[in-house]
Amino acid sequence: MRFYLTTIVLLSLSNIFMTFAWYGHLRNLSHTPWVIAAFASWGIALLEYLLQVPANRIGHQVMNVGQLKILQECIALSVFIPFSILYMKEKPSMDYVWAGLCILGAAFFMFRKKLMGA
């Protein structure tokens, strides 16, 4: 259980940095040349990778690569939705709900053997 929890915490922190690296410049650096935004994003992405790489190494001890990827997508969506609504001031829509349900469905199928105790 410790490997799962550590992986989830590290991937969650990693996704916060990733989301800001990918999209934060749209709000903060929209009036600067794109190359400045790219270098700023690379700096943030370095922090993301310093968390993501150990997270995947720890998680791979108890999960396969497909499970790690689906877990990362679940976390990414759970980070992105509040980011887009609270930070980017986007209007929420039902599309977020439908996308979330699709990701949850994917997670169920990737983890169902563990969930069902097989």
Q: Number of folded domains in the chain?
A: 1
Q: How far apart are CA 57 and CA 60, in angstroms?
A: 5
Task: Please check the confidence at residue 53 and state whether its pLDDT lies above 70.
Answer: yes
Q: How far apart are CA 75 and CA 42, in angstroms?
A: 21
Domain holding 7, by residue range, is: 2-115
Task: Please check the confidence at residue 33 and state whether its pLDDT lies above 90.
Answer: yes
Tens digit of each residue's pLDDT (9 = 90 or more) over 86-106: 999 999 899 888 988 998 898
- Mean pLDDT along residues 70-77: 91
Per the structure block, which two tokens stand in for 80? Answer: 């992105």
Three-state SS at 116: coil
CA 32, 38, 41 angle in degrees (round to 5)? 110
Is pTM beyond 0.95? Reply is: no
Q: How far apart are CA 108 and CA 48, in angstroms?
A: 26
